Amino acid sequence: MGSVIEVRRSGDRYRGGEPTAGIESLHAFSFGPHYDPDNLRFGAILACNEERLAPGAGFDEHPHSHTEIVTWVVEGELTHRDTTGRASLVRRGDVQHLSAAGGVRHVERNDGDTPLVFVQ
Q: pLDDT tens across 12-53, in order? A: 788 888 999 999 988 888 777 777 887 787 777 778 889 999
As beta bridge partners, residue 24 has 17, 52
List C-alpha distances in Å: 34 to 3, 38, 86. Answer: 24, 12, 31
Q: CATH assignment of 49-120, given 2.60.120.10, 3.30.930.10, 2.60.40.3080, 2.40.420.20?
A: 2.60.120.10
List C-alpha distances in Å: 74 to 57, 67, 78. Answer: 16, 22, 10
48-76: pLDDT as tens digits: 889 999 999 999 998 888 889 999 999 99
CA dihedral sign of residues 50, 77, 54, 108: positive
Higher per-residue pLDDT: 57 or 10:
57
pTM over 0.75: yes
DSSP class of residue 22 equals: T
Looking at residue 95, its pLDDT comes to: 97
**What ranges do the domains of the chain cover?**
49-120
* 34 and 27 Cβ atoms separated by less than 8 Å: yes
Rounded mean pLDDT of 4-8?
75
Closest CA to 106 of 120, 117, 91, 94: 120
